[in-house]
Structure 1
Amino acid sequence: MTASGPVALVTGAARGQGAAIAARLVRDGFRVAACDVSSDELTASVAGLDGVIAVELDVTSESQWQDAVSRTVSSFGSLTALVNNAGVLQRASLSDETAEGFERAWRVNCLGPFLGIQACLPALREASGAAIVNTCSTGAVRAFPNHAAYGSSKWGLRGLTQITAAELASDGIRVNAVLPGPVQTPMLDERTQARLAESGRLGTPGEIADAVAFLLSEQASFITGSELVVDGGQTLRIG
């Protein structure tokens, strides 16, 4: 399957934003390693997409990251982009949150991207125009009650993005973050979506995919260490 052109590894690609990102990148000429812990759902999601391989990946596993990168490079001959999109939403009050829930959010939302950057770095350093996009959240710029685990893990990912951008600038690897507001994905149940929609429409997975595609594109070749908020103005509203 090796050929010329950009290659992206996308996590959390079985549904929602991740599936939309994978499909959008294919339209942009990327070959894509679509990765997710839900292998059956992932296989169904990428069916019919040309130039895509489905790779089972638990982003908290260092060994599985190594295997995913190895399979990507073996299949496509290179790796030019990493999209750390996988994430979990953990909601609980401070008094009800558990150590287990808090740690799980951090392991998926922050440790996972760190392990991915480490695993992909050798291949990205060999690529021309390499780029990384991390999916953060408006929860990393605004404090939402009952989101201690999720919000703090996304704040951590925001910091990791900045540090990685600074450290990899000399390698020519761009690192940016997209910060979605409320989006119509399975991460939000119908009741939550309806409540959020009362103050303005929710975003679509395709709109987040468009932002990611831009940050990976040549049009963003002079952009690194930036944070692109895609929230319909949510963070501008008070209350």
Structure 2
Amino acid sequence: MDQGRHGVALFGLGRIGVEHFKNMLSHPGLSLLWVIEQDIQRAKDILIKFQQCNSTKITTPAEDAQVFADERVHGIVVCTPSFTHVDIILKAVKAGKAIFCEKPVSPTLEGVMQVYTEAQKQKIPLFCGFNRRFDQQIRKIHDYAQDGRVGKIHVIKMCSRDPAGKTATPEYYKNYGGFPNDSAVHDIDVVCWLMKERPISVYAVGHAHTSDYVAMGDVDTLVIVLNFPSGAKGIIDMSRNSPYGFDQRIEG
């Protein structure tokens, strides 16, 4: 590993894991030392494609002890299914590794509180990947809201729609936690961030218009209403069946 670089291990090479994989390869301050992936052949194929076979090792989740014992590893990136996050994070905290974890940190509130409490106790950085807070346009809206340039907020409307036919693999959906946990958390986070409040009540209604989501017992269309202590309302409409493509908007 080159001097001055931080050694990193990547857990999971699914959809978002591959994106983080590519980002880490292009970052001048990082060295990707390990990939931890259940599907070894998939990991090998990706490493071959990006010519990483000589610099990145592969192992499975069952053999991850060697990763946490590797003193060259300064931090980990967690992109595995949500139900695995707590176990991986607690191992990393114990090993003294910094952690970037894709949302949600845990499918349960108890799990979220457990890992953050332990990370704070051990003074280990634990960062949850709510990427929209770093979007330049959303940050500008946030700054305008905080310094009063938009006045008092009465209503925030968010639209979050994905293209039709972009359903992930059945394996992904077995443990992903449903549309609200997997996707709506981004929008809820942004609305609360802009409002600087937490809602006192939440109402949500959804429906599955496509057979894939009916079969999974999930919804592809979702509307959420957040009621804040100030009296302001947050309204989020979401779809995974948008025929015209991606649509991400914030209105006040």
The question of whether the paired residues in 1 share the 8 Å contact of 2:36 and 2:60 is answered with yes
2:204 paired residue number:
none
State the alpha-carbon separation in 2 of the partners of residues 37 and 81 from structure 1. 20
Q: Does 1:167 align with 2:121?
A: yes
The residue correspondences of 1:90-239 to structure 2 (distance < 5 A) are: 105=83, 108-118=84-94, 120-121=95-96, 124=97, 131-137=98-104, 151-152=107-108, 155-169=109-123, 173-179=124-130, 185-186=168-169, 187-188=172-173, 191-192=212-213, 195=220, 196-198=239-241
Question: Deviation at 1:166?
Answer: 1.5
TM-score normalised by L of structure 1? 0.51
Report the number of matched residues.
153
1:163 CA displacement: 1.2
Query: How has the CA–CA distance of structure 1 residues 69 and 151 changed in structure 2, closer, same or farther, with 3 Å as cutoff?
Result: closer
Structure 1 or 2: more strand by fraction: 2
Query: Could you tell me how far apart the structure 1 residues matched to 2:85 and 2:249 are?
Result: 24
Q: What is the one-letter code of the residue matched to 1:87?
A: P
Q: Do the aligned partners of residues 82 and 233 (structure 1) sit closer, same or farther apart at CA in structure 2, a change above 3 Å counting?
A: farther
Distance apart, 1:188 and its partner CA: 4.5
RMSD: 3.8
Q: CA deviation at 1:57?
A: 2.0
Deviation at 1:39, TM superposition (A): 0.7
Residue 35 of structure 1 aligns with an amino acid whose one-letter code is I
Please, what TM-score do these two structures have when normalized by structure 2?
A: 0.48
Residues 56 and 11 of structure 1: CA distance in aligned 2, closer, same or farther (over 3 Å): same
1:80 to 74, 83, 87: 74
- Going from structure 1 to structure 2, the CA distance change for 1:202 and 1:10 (only over 3 Å counts) comes to farther
Q: Percent identity, please.
A: 5
CA shift digits 1:155-209 (9 cap, x unpaired): 344223421342133xxx4211125899865424994499342379669xxxxxx
Question: Are residue 31 (structure 1) and residue 74 (structure 2) matched?
Answer: no
Higher relative contact order (CA 8 A, sep 6+): 1
> How much has 1:11 moved relative to structure 2?
0.2
With over 3 angstroms needed to count, the CA separation of the structure-2 counterparts of 1:198 and 1:167, relative to structure 1, is same
By how many angstroms is 1:24 displaced? 0.4
Answer yes or no: is the 8 Å Cα contact 1:110–1:156 preserved in 2.
no
| Structure 2: distance between partners of 1:115 and 1:201 | 40
Instruction: Indicate how the Cα distance of structure 1 residues 160 and 177 shifts in structure 2: closer, same or farther if over 3 A, else same.
Output: farther
- Higher share of residues assigned helix: 1
